[in-house]
């Protein structure tokens, strides 16, 4: 795979032509607001590739469909259904949500890897996999594109394209269905991670001191309020933790992650019904987040609401067949219901998944 000069403008012109020409079944959103892109980068301390930012400033995500699908695309539910079958380029809002989810789990990355979390999802595939960029000093302004198979790790995520411009050109040439299996010989994602650095982790008190200065300059910095909430929680001060995370929710109520953290703080404080409301909000804002689903399932289980709890577990497993937490909660529900055969089957899956993690 030869790396060519990165010139995204001609490729964007081709995409614009295809969106305006009958016979190309394109469904792309209007330009993303630049402040949302800047906000994502500042919030998480990462940088999107320059070519990808130019794409977002023209088209805030989208997809190409087969002609027969386009004929039946009438409603938002139709769009969501076909999105799951397409090679779908995420909007900046979807990138922000998905990145927050992966960062929260530190998905597939050793925690020794330096902050910020280096995997940036930007494209979903029909098999529920992702294509990703890598953030780090080795990447520069343009990250290669890697296939992030959930059954494997970054050391085997092969390179799909040397940069986003190359990928988008492939995408248009294939009318929305390019070859997305990476080539490990060209490089793998982990090669682009920054080397682990030994540094002392911030104490909760240091976090509070740092964020106090941040909020003096910008009192509406939602992420700083979130950091303070976590620091207060670690110090056992759940009252101030609740005040801080409530402020983050007030400033950025569309971010499911903040609602989830609010639920965690309420749950730890024994405010279980209020916690469930926050978990509900997080799931409603991001219904495909398996971790949010599992946390709600666990709390519903505590309330002995077994039917909605097992529904959440089943949905999480449908989204990710390797969702260990969902199987563990579901196994407990089966045992409580006396469904020993099903509980044993889930235990076998749990054992297999735990062996894979080892």
Measuring CA to CA, which residue among 186, 124, 116 is closest to residue 156? 186
The mean pLDDT value for 207-235 works out to 91
Q: What tens digit of pLDDT does each residue of 139-148 get?
A: 989 999 999 9
Second CATH level (architecture) for the domain 204-357? Alpha Horseshoe (1.25)
What pLDDT sits at residue 67? 57
What pLDDT sits at residue 70? 54
Measuring CA to CA, which residue among 259, 249, 137 is closest to residue 193? 137
Residue 239 CB-density burial (10 A; 0-12 exposed, 13-18 middle, 19+ buried): exposed
The pTM of the full predicted model, rounded to 2 decimals, is 0.57
The two structure tokens encoding residue 269: 């404080």
Least confident span in 55-69, 173-187, 295-309: 55-69
C-alpha to C-alpha distance for 302 and 181, rounded to whole angstroms: 42
222-234 and 204-217 helices cross at what angle (nearest 10)?
160
Using pLDDT thresholds of 50, 70 and 90, give the confidence band for residue 3. Answer: very low
State the fold for domain 8-192.
SMI1/KNR4-like (3.40.1580)
What pLDDT sits at residue 273? 96
What pLDDT sits at residue 113? 74
Check pLDDT > 80 for residue 81. Answer: no
Using pLDDT thresholds of 50, 70 and 90, give the confidence band for residue 5. Answer: very low
Helix (H), strand (E), coil (C) string for 156-169: HCEEEECCHHHHHH
Measuring CA to CA, which residue among 178, 181, 188 is closest to residue 144? 188
C-alpha to C-alpha distance for 198 and 186, rounded to whole angstroms: 30
Phi then psi for 89, rounded to 5 degrees?
-85, 120
What pLDDT sits at residue 82? 65
Domain boundary assignment for the chain: 8-192, 204-357
Q: What tens digit of pLDDT does each residue of 156-169 get?
A: 999 999 999 999 99
Check pLDDT > 80 for residue 66. Answer: no
Coil vs helix vs strand at 113 = coil
The mean pLDDT value for 84-96 works out to 92
């Amino acid at each position: 795979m030869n790396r060519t000069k990165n010139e995204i403008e001609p490729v964007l012109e081709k995409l614009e032509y295809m969106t305006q020409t009958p016979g190309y079944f394109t469904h792309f959103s209007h330009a993303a607001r630049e402040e949302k892109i800047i906000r994502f980068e500042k919030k998480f301390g990462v940088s999107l590739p320059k070519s990808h930012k130019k794409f977002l400033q023209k088209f805030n995500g989208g997809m190409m469909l087969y002609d027969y699908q386009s004929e039946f695309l009438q409603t938002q539910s139709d769009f969501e259904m076909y999105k799951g079958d397409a090679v779908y380029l995420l909007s900046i809002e979807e990138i922000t949500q998905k990145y927050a989810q992966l960062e929260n789990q530190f998905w597939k990355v050793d925690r020794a890897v330096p902050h910020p979390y280096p995997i940036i999802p930007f494209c979903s595939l029909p098999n529920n996999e992702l294509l990703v960029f890598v953030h780090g000093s080795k990447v520069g302004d343009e990250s290669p594109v890697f296939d992030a198979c959930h059954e494997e790790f970054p050391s085997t995520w092969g390179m799909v394209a040397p940069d986003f411009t190359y990928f988008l050109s492939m995408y248009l040439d294939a009318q929305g269905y390019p070859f997305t299996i990476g080539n490990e010989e060209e490089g793998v994602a982990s090669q682009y991670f920054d080397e682990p650095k030994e540094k002392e982790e911030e104490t909760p008190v240091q976090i509070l001191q740092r964020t106090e200065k941040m909020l003096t300059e910008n009192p509406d910095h939602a992420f700083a309020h979130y950091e303070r909430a976590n620091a207060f929680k670690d110090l056992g001060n759940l009252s101030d933790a609740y005040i801080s995370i409530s402020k983050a929710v007030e400033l950025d109520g569309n971010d499911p992650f903040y609602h989830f953290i609010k639920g965690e703080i309420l749950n730890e404080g024994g405010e279980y019904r209020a916690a469930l409301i926050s978990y509900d909000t997080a799931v409603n804002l991001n219904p495909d987040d398996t971790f949010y689903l599992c946390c709600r399932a666990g709390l519903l289980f505590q309330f002995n609401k077994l039917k909605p709890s097992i529904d959440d577990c089943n949905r999480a497993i449908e989204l990710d067949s390797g969702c260990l937490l969902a199987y563990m909660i579901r196994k407990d529900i089966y045992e409580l219901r006396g469904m020993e055969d099903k509980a044993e089957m889930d235990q076998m899956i749990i054992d297999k998944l735990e062996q894979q993690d080892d």
